[in-house]
Structure 1
Amino acid sequence: MDSPIAAVPRAEVPPLAARPAPRAHVLVLTVAGAVTVANIYFPQPLLAAIAGGLGVSGNTAGLVASAAQLGYALGILLIVPLADTARLRRLTTVLLALTSGGLFVAAAAPNVLTLTLATLALSTTTVLPQILTPVAASLAGPERRGRVVGTIGLGLTLGSTVSRGVSGAVSDAGGGWRTAYVVAAVATAALLFVLPRALPESLGRAGRAGGRLPYHRLLATLPRLFAEHREVRVSALTGATVFAAYSVFWATLAFHLAAPPLGFGPGVAGLFGLLSVPGALVSAYAGGLTDRYGASAVTAWSLGCVAVSLTLVGFGSRSPVALVAGANLLVLGTGAAQVANQARIFGLGRDVAARVNTVFMLSSFGGGALGSLTAVWLYGAYGWGAAVLAAAGFVVLAAVVLVGARRAAPSCVPRDTRKAGRRSPRTPQGETMHDLAALADEHLANAHNDAHGRSAHLVVHDGVLRQSVIALTAGTVLDEHNAPPAASLQVLRGRVKLTAADRSEELSAGELQMIPKERHGLAALEDAVVLLTAVND
């Protein structure tokens, strides 16, 4: 039969993982993420000025902030998944144009209804941060994925935090809240001349080959991604529980600070956001740690950090110093957990990167909403101590998820019970073995038809010995995973990159390499088939 490798022109399938993003492009993506996420948060300090300027109550003006959060959640659900199949430059251009246009409309709004509707619309289209993160991770490749995700995350944190102060200063200097909207519109529009050029034409194979899923089917894959991939479930559940604990603290902090014996006003509560910026800055280093030690190790460390923070704010509830220190540790732990969780899910490959990020972010939003509701009720009924205990309970749930996942963590050896792309049942012991060349042809063809670009066949299972044929299409990445006690990798077709810690090695057809006895990953630099031999405990 004709080789599937020869049947697919290389130029049509450029492997993103084989072309690491230049640092200048990462900087552009980081700045763009900060500018666009700021559109969600900069109106918050302007609500009093909006109420006075439009002649409405403070509660009515608060609808603007609520519309921003609702629009952002809708955009994550309805727009972000499109990045897996759409042409990224065109999608980015359209979203930036719509967002800047919405900001100009908001700046000229004659009444609060127009402003609220404009905010809802522009917040729905300003979801580029959740598109740029998976794009940057895919461009970075497995060796730098965590570090790049951490850098983008730092930009988002600074954008959401600093924008509040900048908008208030711009409003005061320019004579009104409308000036802040105009500045945001101009900054967003300026990205039209820079950002599209820093992006690849498309993220997944479907966007390049034209085989795009219909929109309703694209959205329908979201629950299936959660059900089929352990990485998505672990990241989504730990992300939801950690963000729930985070939200418990911030939803009740202002009430606790205002109550005796502290008796602080709302200005002090707002100051805590700025005082916790050091924790956010340090959390960016979680990316490099994830590249070196793996997502699970960094997530475990993050949970420990959150637990220490809750201990501080629980036992030091009357000490402003303890509360500030606890807030910084909480921000550090939550930020580091998000970086590690996103790095984990992006290892599933660029073809589903935007959709798995959608699942993760929606889970985090849901956890945050649950945490806020729980916190307000418990604080009103039982006080600060009960709220802190609830946050600790969410951290315990996250730990249970993580420990359960580590016990079930697969090694690089395919198992019959784990779905990872297309998989054939293993050959029973004692039966005639298949021809490896024929298996390579068969599974490379299967990999091209698989949504994740991979296919595997367990050909030998004799006691602790396992031998598997694994086919990967160009650019497909097997994320970092645990190593078996002993294993080797022989390349049958194509070219791959074996990564471990801070080093990597390229292997071509015919080469044999021992698998390092540490967490490692595998990336296909071109269509490839490998023979994995392993001894398990």
Structure 2
Amino acid sequence: MTALSTTSGVKRGTIPVFATATAITVSNIYFTQPLLEWIAQGLGVSSAAAGIVATAGQIGYALGIVVIVPLADRARLRRISSVLLAITALALLAGALAPSIAVLSTATFVLSVTTVLPQLIMPTVSSMAARGEAGRALGAVGTGLTLGALLSRTVSGALAEATGTWRAGYFAAAAATALLLLVLPRYMPEQSPHGGQDRIGYPKLLASLPRLIVGHASLRLSTVLGATGFAAFSAFWATLAFHLSQKPIELGPAAAGLFGLGSVPGALAARYSGRLTDRYGPDTVNTVGLASAGIAFVVFLFAGDSVVGLVIGCNLLGYGTTSAQIANQTRIFTGPAALRARLNTVYIFALFASGAIGSSIGLALLQAHGWTATACEGMAFLAVGALSLTVHSVRQRRTSGVQNSVETGPRVAVGRPVGKGG
């Protein structure tokens, strides 16, 4: 395996450090999900009240995407990463020591706002990669992102089981984030790789976000593809634990975390989608990702009552979703370098919003019509994405054909009249 090339001045080992950092920080968003029942029991509140913790995390993360990620276009990345990690570590420690659900929810909200570091790293690593290697770099870091999201539930659940308390997950996350604070800033560039735009005021950075959707066709396509794919992905994971607890499977709530562990092979395989993107382009990898996710939901539809079928589907869905994310971000990062953090802000916010929508619809459908309806929901979201990619491909071929026609022009004999008997 050849080493991934970076631009000059980038410290050796930066890509592996970035991949590890994304895995650790993104886990802060997800590790609380299997702990909610323990939290309810430990703090003496209802399950519904404990659910406020998860809601606070979702709201905080959405806010952090909008108000913090655009700052990466103003350089000062080393300073930003240090501040975010310090606040996150302190908020995690406060959560571990929280005496009430109100304090815990507040701490979770704060740490979710500041744990958006992966979305600062993505545009940074794209700019650091050598020409033609952006897909590979994003693939490496994106794999860390997916593994952190998948394994965090498993690890936090195992820690709670081993220690008998939900607080162990918060303590472990605080320690990991504190260690990262000692390492990551050394690898982050002092200035943004594309030079930054310090003269742009913060209000103008935020005000520019809506205009990006209008002005960048690549962002619009990636956003639609990413949003529909992530909505399907979220619908599955939001309903899996409930499906597993019902007949004929009847497994406990901890089983959902183990499915995250079982999905690791698919996530690891998706790393090579970065190379495929560099070689064949994002559209091709999006097609492969949609096909893989689509097959996954067919498996869920017809073999959803089988643990083996669900594991196979999990890997296909994980591979397809991660591959599509790599392709989508590679596409949007071909835009102007000085806009990459803001382009990523729009894209990730759309993913987050669509994930919430997909989860809500999935839970409602599961309760009203069962697992089959949830599987069909995922297929419907993916169908919208496939239609968008098809329309894009047709337009692209037509544009290419018109350009070729203009460049070559009609082939007419010169100096010879064209008419009857010609």
TM-score range, shorter chain: 0.7 to 0.9
Q: State percent identity of aligned pairs.
A: 47
Give the aligned residue type for 2:209. L
Change (3 A) 1:412 1:169: same
Could you tell me how far apart the structure 2 residues matched to 1:146 and 1:215 are?
Answer: 30
1:193 matched to 2:182: yes
Name 2:90's counterpart in structure 1.
Answer: 101
Partner SS, residue 208 of structure 2: helix
Q: 2:106 is matched with which residue: 104, 110, 117?
A: 117
Please report how far the alpha carbon of residue 72 of structure 1 lies from its aligned counterpart in structure 2 after TM superposition.
1.2
Change (3 A) 1:343 1:181: same
Change (3 A) 1:85 1:61: same
1:84–1:204: 8 Å Cα contact kept in structure 2? no
Change (3 A) 1:185 1:198: same
Point out which structure has higher relative CO (alpha carbons under 8 A, 6+ apart). 2
Give the aligned residue type for 1:78. V
**Which is further off, 252-261 or 66-75?**
252-261
Give the aligned residue type for 1:189. A
Name 1:30's counterpart in structure 2.
Answer: 19
2:92–2:170: 8 Å Cα contact kept in structure 1? yes
Please report how far the alpha carbon of residue 462 of structure 1 lies from its aligned counterpart in structure 2 after TM superposition.
9.8
Alignment of 1:13-412 (within 5 A): 18-19=7-8, 21-22=10-11, 24-171=13-160, 176-203=165-192, 207=196, 210-211=198-199, 213-409=200-396
**Which is further off, 192-201 or 383-392?**
383-392
Could you tell me the TM-score, scaled by structure 1's length? 0.70
Cα shift readout 1:220-262 (whole Å, capped 9, x = no counterpart): 1111111111110010000011111222322333343333333
Q: Report the structure, 1 or 2, having the larger strand content.
A: 1
Higher-Rg member (1/2) = 1
Change (3 A) 1:103 1:206: same
Please report how far the alpha carbon of residue 20 of structure 1 lies from its aligned counterpart in structure 2 after TM superposition.
7.6
Please report how far the alpha carbon of residue 174 of structure 1 lies from its aligned counterpart in structure 2 after TM superposition.
5.3
Give the aligned residue type for 1:24. G
Please report how far the alpha carbon of residue 132 of structure 1 lies from its aligned counterpart in structure 2 after TM superposition.
0.8
**Which is further off, 353-362 or 165-174?**
165-174
Please report how far the alpha carbon of residue 322 of structure 1 lies from its aligned counterpart in structure 2 after TM superposition.
1.9
Change (3 A) 1:175 1:200: same
Give the aligned residue type for 2:204. R
Give the aligned residue type for 1:310. F
**Which is further off, 132-141 or 265-274?**
265-274
Name 1:524's counterpart in structure 2.
Answer: none
Q: Report the structure, 1 or 2, having the larger helix content.
A: 2
Partner SS, residue 262 of structure 1: coil
Change (3 A) 1:385 1:41: closer
2:34–2:254: 8 Å Cα contact kept in structure 1? no
Name 2:415's counterpart in structure 1.
Answer: none
Please report how far the alpha carbon of residue 395 of structure 1 lies from its aligned counterpart in structure 2 after TM superposition.
1.3
Aligned residues: CA RMSD: 2.7
Could you tell me how far apart the structure 1 residues matched to 2:201 and 2:70 are?
Answer: 12
Please report how far the alpha carbon of residue 402 of structure 1 lies from its aligned counterpart in structure 2 after TM superposition.
0.9
Q: Size of the alignment, in residue pairs? A: 404
Question: What stretches of structure 2 of length at least 5 have no aligned partner?
Answer: 410-422
Give the aligned residue type for 2:84. L
Could you tell me how far apart the structure 2 residues matched to 1:81 and 1:37 are?
Answer: 18
Cα shift readout 1:74-133 (whole Å, capped 9, x = no counterpart): 111110011111411111111111111212222222211111101101110111011111
Could you tell me the TM-score, scaled by structure 2's length? 0.88
Change (3 A) 1:361 1:114: same
Could you tell me how far apart the structure 2 residues matched to 1:194 and 1:269 are?
Answer: 32
Cα shift readout 1:333-382 (whole Å, capped 9, x = no counterpart): 11111111111111113211111111111111122122222222333333
Give the aligned residue type for 1:104. L
Please report how far the alpha carbon of residue 187 of structure 1 lies from its aligned counterpart in structure 2 after TM superposition.
2.1
Could you tell me how far apart the structure 1 residues matched to 2:89 and 2:312 are?
Answer: 38
Could you tell me how far apart the structure 2 residues matched to 1:150 and 1:104 are?
Answer: 32
Question: What stretches of structure 1 of length at least 5 have no aligned partner?
Answer: 1-15, 417-460, 467-537
Cα shift readout 1:179-213 (whole Å, capped 9, x = no counterpart): 43233223212222221121122226563x632x2
Name 1:464's counterpart in structure 2.
Answer: 407
